Structure formats: C-alpha cells, structure tokens
Amino acid sequence: DEEMLPDVLESDAVFGEYRGVPITGVIADQSSSLYSLGCWDRGEIKVTNGTGSFVDLNVGEEAEVFPKLLPLIAWKLKGEKRYMLEGMLYYSGSAVDLFKELGIIENVKETSEMAFASKNDLYIIPSFVGISTPHYVSVPGLLYGITNSMRREDLVKALLEAVAFRITEIVELMKKVEKIDAIRCDGEMSSNDFLLQRIADATKLKVRRSSVLAGSLFGSYLVAGRALGKWKRVCADFSQEFLPKEDVSQKYRRWKELLELTKRIS
C-alpha cells in the first residue's frame, strides 16, 4: 500500500524539527560533495578521495545512462532536479592505511614527499577487494617491476599512481558523455600533492583542490543554509591548482596492459 510509504521530499525541504531546530539539508554524501564544490552545471566533475575514491559527473536536468557508470539523482533543490553519473574505487586512502599497517610508511602525511623522491618505476594493480568501475571484477592485485634497487618510496609512488590511473580510467569514460575542462577534488586524500599532480598528468586536465576537504559534510551545511534563507548559492573556494606537467601516457598504457594481464591470468 503506497500510503504506508513516506513522502519523498526535496533536499532543501524541512523534514521536521528537533528541539526547535529544523531538520533540512538532507542529501547523499557524494551529491553533497558535488554541490559543495560548485559542480552545479552539466559537464562539471569532481573526485572525492577518501577511504575510496568517487568520481561524479553532473549530467544536467535529464537522467542519462551510460555503460559501466552508475546513474543517480544528484539533488532536487527549489524544484530544480540535477542528475549525475558515478564511478568509484573501493580502495585509495584505505590502501595507504594498509601500507602503514604493513610498516612500509610511518605516517600517511609523508607519502607525497616519498613519492616525489622515488627514482624507480614499479606498477601496482590495486585490487585489494576487487576492481570496480569500469571493470567490476574480483581478481587479486599485482606488484610488477621488483628489483634489488627498489625502495619504500617506489612502492608508495606506485600505489598513488595506481589510484590516479584508476581515476583516469573513469574520467576517460565520462569524457565520452560530456566535454570536461577541469576536475575539482575534495576528501582527506586530496591533501596529497603527488596524487593530485598525477591525476592532472594522467588526465591532462587542470585539477583544483577544495579549501574544504570535508565536502560531503560542507555540502549538506550549504544546502541547509540555503533552505533556511541564510544564503542563496555558494560553494567552497579552491586552495590550490595543479596543471599537467609530466607526460605519463606511456606509463599509463603500460599500467593498463598489466591490469588486463591480471584479469586474464586470474
């Protein structure tokens, strides 16, 4: 009986009150992040790098379906609905945490400096719990290129590059849907300079780091404030911009070959 179901309300509706405080700004985490980064129009894209990484593309006022990407409602605010497409990585920040547990690093914050200091090239296929978008396969991971000259720094660089390359795969898929000019990033892992620089290098796009890394929380706050008339439409500022510097296209191709090899032999 449909009458038993709750009403579907807009994200900026008032859902009730608690001790006189209105409950509003009800929005999903990645939609909230998309909003907080100012990705309000079609073709605007963001990457949230946290425990995992989530790549979301605003596709505008009409729902769009594209193979291997997840179609979602971004939000409905003031009667205006926006849709998005999403791709994801299961492991990014959590993979760095695993390196800490294994004793490869002492502190997560040192990984960017370590990666920039690396002199050798290793390759990691980061399939810790399977590979999600756009492969959706359950295969073991791979470490390739081991030599007696390798150092901890090389392992760290390989892992961060693998995260950047996985994000690049998803961005390339989204480029078939809409032209993309720049990527906006938030999430705690986005504090890593090497990761954002490598995303810029691999995608050949400008990458902007949000001044508010907790975008999912901030977006809900912004929607709530807008709902209560505190402001109209505002978003986070950007603290730093990364431009493509290094041509990593050959390394990216090699990494993709190793990923396909991993899928074949598993």
Give 63-90 pLDDT, tens digit per residue. 999 999 999 999 999 889 999 999 999 9
> Is 148 a domain residue?
yes
> Is 115 a domain residue?
yes
> Is 208 a domain residue?
yes
Distance (Å, whole) CA 223 – CA 244: 33
CB neighbourhood size of 238 (10 A): 18
Q: Which CATH number characterizes residue 82's domain?
A: 3.30.420.40
Distance (Å, whole) CA 39 – CA 84: 10
pLDDT at res. 2: 84
> Is 1 a domain residue?
no
pLDDT average, residue stretch 145-170: 97
User: Each residue of 168-227: pLDDT tens digit?
Assistant: 999 999 999 999 999 999 999 999 999 999 999 999 999 999 999 999 999 999 999 999
pLDDT at res. 161: 98
pLDDT at res. 266: 81
Distance (Å, whole) CA 31 – CA 219: 8
> Is 246 a domain residue?
yes
> Is 122 a domain residue?
yes
Torsion on CA atoms 109, 218, 206, 166, rounded to nearest 10: 60
Distance (Å, whole) CA 102 – CA 81: 45
User: Each residue of 10-57: pLDDT tens digit?
Assistant: 999 999 999 999 999 999 999 999 999 999 999 999 999 999 999 999
* Entry pTM: 0.94
What is the residue whose two structure tokens read 């859902």? 15
Q: Which residue range is the domain that position 166 belongs to?
A: 13-265
pLDDT at res. 232: 86
**Residue 1 — pLDDT band, cuts 50, 70, 90?**
confident
> Is 6 a domain residue?
no
What string of H, E and C letters represents the secondary structure of 171-230? HHHHHCCCCCCEEEEECHHHHCHHHHHHHHHHHCCEEEEECCCCHHHHHHHHHHHHHCCC
Give which of 103, 109, 198 is closest to 155, Cα–Cα: 103
For the chain, the domain total comes to 1
> Is 106 a domain residue?
yes
pLDDT at res. 137: 95
